Structure 1
Amino acid sequence: MIAGRKFRSRLMTGTGKYRSLEDMRQSIAASGSEIVTVAVRRVQTKAPGHEGLAEALDWTKLWMLPNTAGCQTAEEAIRVARLGREMAKLLGQEDNNFVKLEVIPDAKYLLPDPFGTLEAAEKLVKEGFAVLPYINADPLLAKRLEEVGCVTVMPLGSPIGSGQGIKNEANIQIIIENARVPVVVDAGIGTPSEAALAMELGADATLINTAIACAKNPVAMGKAMGMAVEAGRLAYSAGRIPVKVYASASSPLTGTIVGATS
């Protein structure tokens, strides 16, 4: 449940880096994802390879999550968020005020700016946006963003597109423990096992793009990620056994044969 809207799938997907629009379409369908993030600047531009992106997906069945990718300052992100809201309306989602907030001034490591993110989030919340901020796995920042009215927090597992997996497990667990809004692990997941781990930690959802789009078979990987997220959530709900420093036999010791008789 995000901003009062209920979703069946706990996997969010993206639209970048696919080899073709058809690969993108099929992969998202195979994943079972309902929330799909779209870079507003990709839709606005007419550059080669970007044509038809908005029309490639059926927005009567999917929920658009416009994102402010490419914005380096809070001011830029706010302007692009406003464009994203209008874009969603033009595509038929009149009540869509969601925005994935990204403020990334660092071109090499693509790490989000905590100060710019918080500044933009405060202003966008006041303008009626449902803000989903992309952040470093910083428990204090996550709580502050929740307090100013963000509807989720989205800590990175590791840098965008790196495929390094969950590199900050302890901090993500603290964020999950303290959050009163959904926690979405976003960025760095490279394999289904890593997606399952994010869910086993107690995350409410994951957002995965590069690992699906750049796989040798993106459609198969989309399906695998969808299954992994379901398995990880089910495992979390089931409750894992405690970790012990010693062995514990799984077979009962009663009725053990202790010696032979003649």
Structure 2
Amino acid sequence: MQTIDRPISQREDALVIAGRTFHSRLITGTGKYRNFDQMRASIDASGCEMITVAVRRVQTQAPGHEGLAEAIDWQKIWMLPNTAGCQTAEDAIRVARLGREMAKLLGQEDNNFVKLEVIPDAKYLLPDPIGTLEAAEQLVKEGFAVLPYINADPLLAQRLEAVGCATVMPLGSPIGSGQGIRNLANIQIIIENANIPVIVDAGIGAPSEAAQAMELGADALLINTAIAQAHQPDLMATAMRQAATAGRLAYQAGRIPVKAYASASSPLTGRITS
């Protein structure tokens, strides 16, 4: 894994997923970049240690993905294969198995991670809760570390944790929409009740929104489109990295309570009265 200089407090504040330790709380993707040079520069600027790869696009050598597997140093970056494009649980299970084999071929013999996506809805790209749960149950039985992409549904998040998922990944808003965190209350409930990492995935468009998610107490973020489609992706990757860090530190620091009235910053004692 790549080593990035950080303050001691950040090095100690590690993210652990399925027993694997990550020091970055920002996960990025590989899609929608204009070229591989931009992708590599952005991945480096983001400081991320894990990136998600659509198994189907690599397997079929889809346009823009030819050579993707060779474009990244998999000795430094942990692969998160994803089942993007799968509309049923059965399809997602099959593609997850392909993803595990792909990771092995690229030198990550112990990589059982999978980002589980079951999305039958072509217009809004909203995940199927029933299909996701069915696929998760089977993949956990097969030894996968399952990271399921879900609507911000607190009850579904609890069910997925109960069947053994490694994380839950509620969407902030629809994939690639840049609408930000539209499900704030539900994501807060998920975070408060989860005993596994909560990764906010999809919809984040600006660093302020990334910081907001981390300030809520999210354990990590997955951001792709907002970086890849920015005018200068590497600069946006840097901004998202810093926002994730700032949001995490703010959450740990503990914000002041919101009040309906003013509260003087200076003490009233010792005032000059004459």
TM normalised by structure 1 equals 0.98
Distance across 1 between alignment mates of 2:148 and 2:62? 27
Runs of 4+ in 1 over 3 A off after TM superposition: none
Distance across 1 between alignment mates of 2:28 and 2:267? 46
For 1:20, which of 12, 25, 35 is the aligned residue?
A: 35
Distance across 1 between alignment mates of 2:172 and 2:61? 32
Q: Residue 139 of structure 2 corresponds to which residue in structure 1? A: 124
**Letter of the aligned partner of 2:152 in structure 1?**
A
Distance across 2 between alignment mates of 1:258 and 1:210? 59
Q: Residue 105 of structure 1 corresponds to which residue in structure 2? A: 120
Task: Measure how far apart 1:251 and its partner are.
Answer: 0.9
Distance across 2 between alignment mates of 1:48 and 1:122? 33
Unaligned runs of 5+ in 1: none
Q: Residue 191 of structure 1 corresponds to which residue in structure 2? A: 206
Q: Residue 256 of structure 1 corresponds to which residue in structure 2? A: 271
Q: How does 1:1-262 map to 2 (within 5 A)?
A: 1-259=16-274
RMSD of aligned Cα (Å): 0.7
**Letter of the aligned partner of 2:237 in structure 1?**
G
Task: Measure how far apart 1:256 and its partner are.
Answer: 2.0
Give CA-to-partner distance per residue, 1:146-169, whole Å, 9 cap, x none.
Answer: 000000000000000000000011
Distance across 1 between alignment mates of 2:139 and 2:41? 33
Distance across 2 between alignment mates of 1:131 and 1:232? 25
**Letter of the aligned partner of 1:118 in structure 2?**
L
Unaligned runs of 5+ in 2: 1-15
Task: Measure how far apart 1:174 and its partner are.
Answer: 0.4
Distance across 1 between alignment mates of 2:143 and 2:63? 34
The percentage of counterpart residues that share the same residue type is: 82
Give CA-to-partner distance per residue, 1:178-228, whole Å, 9 cap, x none.
Answer: 000000000000000100000000000000000000000000000110010
SS of the residue aligned with 1:6?
A: strand
Give CA-to-partner distance per residue, 1:37-70, whole Å, 9 cap, x none.
Answer: 0000111013332211111111000000000000
TM normalised by structure 2 equals 0.94
Distance across 2 between alignment mates of 1:9 and 1:51? 28
| Number of aligned residue pairs | 259
**Letter of the aligned partner of 1:33 in structure 2?**
C
Task: Measure how far apart 1:257 and its partner are.
Answer: 2.9
Q: Residue 7 of structure 2 corresponds to which residue in structure 1? A: none
Give CA-to-partner distance per residue, 1:117-155, whole Å, 9 cap, x none.
Answer: 000000000000000000000000000000000000000
SS of the residue aligned with 2:147?
A: strand
Task: Measure how far apart 1:240 and its partner are.
Answer: 0.5
Task: Measure how far apart 1:236 and its partner are.
Answer: 0.3
Distance across 2 between alignment mates of 1:190 and 1:201? 17
Distance across 1 between alignment mates of 2:262 and 2:273? 21
